Structure 1
Amino acid sequence: MSDKGLIFDIKRDCSEDGPGIRTTVFFKGCPLSCIWCQNPEGKAVKPETDIHGKQIGTWYTVDELMYRLLQDKPFFISSGGGVTLSGGEATLQMDFASKLLQALKREGIHTAIETSGFFDYQRFKDEMLPWLDLIYYDIKLMDEAASQQYCGQSNLRILDNFSRLLADARIPVIPRIPLIPGITATKENLQGIAAFLDKHGVKSCALMPYNPLWSDKLQKLGLPIRYQHKGFMTPAEQKTCIDYFTKSTQPT
């Protein structure tokens, strides 16, 4: 159904998904299954209902979606903002996402994507990259076995796609590392990611502190909670992660 896209949310006035005032479109379906997923309602590749009978996921044509997005164009123009594709994983609906990006660029709207990096690289390069202005690229785990255990997939494609993207993209590619206590926010993992980025000449990234609010979403979906960490990260915990990350890239 590439003429329609399955969307589970459209959030306006977003300030953390790219420059300026943005509208973020959340695509339903994801090839990963991270046990701490911030948007568990975006995992399934089909519409579903929560425990209250509320539908999650709506099919849109490009025209229907553009009608909603263009309402915010004055805010994009005045703030230097635009539209960000998120999820779930937008690349899982590659045909529709490509058509949407092209429609946005015809309107002169800045485009960005938040991606897990688990996609067919050649298709992404041909069908999405030409119409993107910014890429946020998640790098979660350096150990392949840990990636399979906690995210449900090997990380080899993710790391390889990132390396290829740095060589091919003529736009900013910003790596983002979610700080998950006991999983990604460990000395070994953060130093491994820092060394990987340093090897590729990447000098900056975004570290995203843990947010525990996703567990409420799982309960509404009637799904089991596989990871328990109730509190937000403290400033001290965040500083420790930053120290792990930055010290590993300093010359000895």
Structure 2
Amino acid sequence: MPIAVARTKPRESRRPLIVDIRRGSLDDGPGIRSVVFFKGCPLRCVFCHSPETQEICPEIAFTEERCIHCGSCVKACPQAALDLSSPTRIGRDRCDLCGACEDACPTSALRIVGKYWPVDSLVELLLRDVSFYRHSGGGVTLSGGECTLFPEYVETLLLKLKALGVHVAIETSGWFDYEVFAKKILPFLDLIFFDLKLMGADESRRYLGQSNEKILENLRRLLAEPRRAGRVEVRPRVPLIPDITDTRMNLSRVVNRLYDLGASTLSVLPYNPLGLAVYSRLGKPAPHLSTSFTKPDREAELVDTVRSLIAGDRWRPRRGQI
């Protein structure tokens, strides 16, 4: 079982917190999978699909449409951090994330985002679906946020899963310490989804909050690794963010870089705007982005664009879901 967060709110904690565990997923690797979403990411993508996974420390989320104004949370809060008459409801500077309001709320309008799971408890939960993994060719996918921020925890988790024959994938932004990754995480993986968003250095700093130098170098080293007899598959992918990553210039740069590195596939991920609603729940301003999903005809147009840029029939553009 997960362990509740402490009353103190650290600015940074290296103990991994988990935002969600999604069982029965069909979108994050082959077969039926369980997806573990870690909290904490070194990037600050303005188009982040999961803003609740950015901060490494726990946060409180308020979903206004679930609130029935019963006042139970106000009575339960020992810090007097809640006010139903306030537009924001939560005095976040006073909240110590004790979780009393979450326990008191009958509709789950208030929720602490990020709880710690001991490795053995997490493995126990993930193994409840092991028969589905085996019959469908599925397994477990570690996502985020960025799971590679917690190499010791992830290494222990992967060791236990691989000892039981579970297929394991990760979804990564590519921004990690390669030496640590190669030693503690890479040896236990079957599949790596490696996100490539922007190729230009200035665009990366503007839209990702970081230079892409480390990301590109990590991908180069990863593709140059002796693939351990071909066991580890690396799938680069690009999210199609309107007017940011889906431009012909950016897609051309992505394709050219992957071709130079010897990659053989590229996945494209349709834009999903559902993450925009999460910002207000966390008390943060939402970025000014499209609120519409990628339309099928636009997606087909972008896939055709990628195909037209690809050199050689060894390239296979794939479709995925973000």
Q: TM-score, normalised by structure 1?
A: 0.95
- TM-superposed CA distance for 1:169, in Å, is 5.3
AA aligned opposite 1:93: F
What is the CA-CA distance between 1:227 and the residue it aligns to?
2.9
Partner residue in 1 for 2:4: none
Structure 1 position 24, deviation (Å): 0.3
CA RMSD of aligned residues (A): 1.4
What does residue 147 of structure 2 align with? 90
One-letter code aligned to 2:50: N
Partner of 1:230: 291
For 2:191 and 2:288, the matched residues in 1 are separated by 31
Post-superposition CA distance 1:23-51 (Å, at most 9, x none) = 00001000001111111110110111112
Structure with the larger helix share: 1
Counterparts of 1:137 and 1:202, CA distance in 2: 11
Instruction: Specify the alignment match of 1:35 in structure 2.
Output: 46
Q: Which amino acid letter does the alignment assign opposite residue 66 of structure 1?
A: V
Give the equivalent residue in structure 1 for 2:207.
150
Q: Which blocks of at least 5 consecutive residues in structure 2 are unaligned?
A: 1-12, 63-108, 313-322
- Equivalents in 2 of 1:132, 1:202: separation in Å? 18
Aligned-residue sequence identity (percent) comes to 44
Conservation of the 8 A alpha-carbon contact between 2:43 and 2:210 = yes
What residue is the counterpart of 1:183 in the other structure? 244
The residue that corresponds to 1:80 in the other structure is: 137
* Per-residue CA distance 1:165-188 (angstroms, 9 max, x = gap): 011152110001000001001010
Aligned partner letter, 1:183: I
| Deviation, structure 1 residue 15 | 0.7
Corresponding residue of 2:253: 192
- Partner residue in 2 for 1:205: 266
State the Cα distance separating 1:68 from its structure 2 match: 0.7
Kindly name which structure, 1 or 2, has the bigger radius of gyration based on alpha carbons: 2
CA contact (8 A) 2:197 2:238 kept: yes
Q: Report the AA paired with residue 40 of structure 2.
A: G
Judge which range, 20-29 or 68-77, deviates more: 68-77
Change (3 A) 1:169 1:60: farther
TM value normalised by structure 2: 0.75
1:46 alignment counterpart: 57
Instruction: Measure the CA separation in 1 of the matches of 2:262 and 2:251.
Output: 16
Q: 1:168 aligns with which of 206, 209, 225?
A: 225
| Residue 197 of structure 2, aligned match among 120, 130, 140 | 140
The farther-off stretch of 6-15 and 72-81 is 72-81
User: What number of residue pairs does the alignment pair up?
Assistant: 250
